[in-house]
Structure 1
Amino acid sequence: MQLRLTRKLISAVLLGCGVLSMPLHANETDSGLSSAEQADYLREIKQLYLTQDERQALLAHSNDLLKNYALRAGYQVGQAQRQDLFYQLRLGAPGELLLREEVRGEKGTDIAVRNQRVELFGVDPFIRYDCPQAGISCVLHNPVDDRPLLSIVRDHKGAAELAKALSFLIRNLQKG
């Protein structure tokens, strides 16, 4: 219940500021946000998380999105080995992001944890994602080598929102 309310609140705030709106014309390209749109997005995120620190707001927002769109065993109907996938981001050394992946078996007794460092200096900050029609998940790709970085439940809007937040976070971390 709380996750649904959080998701609705985040969506309402972002929709209210026009962040989630679609282009008005079909020939408009999504080549990125203008500086005014970037400033509005970052201002709304800072207001949502009650902080003036852009980096902390983006990190909190990314972690909340990872919780909301976690790929849980309940979504994996018909799969042989159903398991929960949880992710959490932390800040590492300057220009570094730490990703914690926790995989839990369907009954919650088998737990595997994997930590990954993502070096961000000199990489394209835009996160690419795929949501295959036949699959149950969306995959966000590592900006370093384009390998799969993390998987979330198959939700195009959620994947786009998470990719956007991560891209802004990466750009912020690349500043040092």
Structure 2
Amino acid sequence: MLLSGCVALSPGFASEPAAGVSSAEQASYLAKLKRLYLTENERQALLAHSNDLLKTYALRAAYQVGQARRQDLLYQLRLGAPGELLLREETRGQQETQIAVRNQRIALFGVDPFIRYDCPNGSISCVLLNPVDGSPLLSIVRDHQGAAELAKALSFLIRNLQKG
């Protein structure tokens, strides 16, 4: 539903999801997001889209059949200081009383804006990698198209935030 109004990347380009996107494609993508989220602000549209994708592709306990420790893994992005993105990770155990929250600041000036991801065979999740050091940043349900769309939105968001 949510993605029907957006441009989706074909799966298989995990190393550089937004590489080779022309200016016209970028402008079209951003225009569609601004219409979808009813804003003229590219940054707000990209942030809202990224957060919606994080909700849509959240790694929920229901997807983790056969896993010993099933838990919901939820993320939310916020804007921090100029050139900074704040990532909130919430882990919920099978019982709603087991909640852990971790906050992470990601300084974006001087980093490669292209988000890379990996969806290993046999895994229940895709991992998006931190643009700063290549370490795991967040995990979503194993969906190549969802990972590609999230990587694309985050890459555009990072480039937008790097402008200051």
For Structure 1 versus Structure 2, the TM-score category normalised by the shorter chain is: over 0.9
Q: What is the letter of the counterpart of residue 116 of structure 2? A: R
Please, which runs of 5 or more residues in structure 2 have no aligned partner? 11-17
Which of 36, 55, 68 is 1:48 aligned to?
36
Report the counterpart of residue 51 of structure 2 in structure 1. Answer: 63
Give the structure 1 partner of residue 13 of structure 2: none
For 1:1-176, what aligned pairs fall within 5 Å after superposition? 8=1, 10-14=2-6, 19-20=7-8, 22=10, 31-176=19-164
What is the number of residues matched between the two proteins?
A: 157
Q: Please tell me the root mean square deviation across aligned C-alpha atoms, in Å.
A: 1.1
User: Post-superposition shift, 1:13?
Assistant: 1.0
CA displacement at 1:21 relative to structure 2? 6.0
Q: Which runs of 5+ in 1 are unaligned?
A: 1-7, 23-29
What's the TM-score once normalised by structure 1's chain length?
0.87
Higher relative contact order (CA 8 A, sep 6+): 2
Question: What do residues 105-146 of structure 1 show as CA deviations (whole Å, max 9, x unaligned)?
Answer: 012110000000000000000000000111000000000000
Taking structure 2 as the reference length, the TM-score comes to: 0.93
> Conserved in 1, the CA contact under 8 Å of 2:114 and 2:155?
yes
Query: Residue 26 of structure 1 corresponds to which residue in structure 2?
Result: none
Distance 1:11 1:105 in 2: 29
**Which stretches of structure 1, 4 residues or longer, exceed 2 Å deviation after superposition?**
19-22
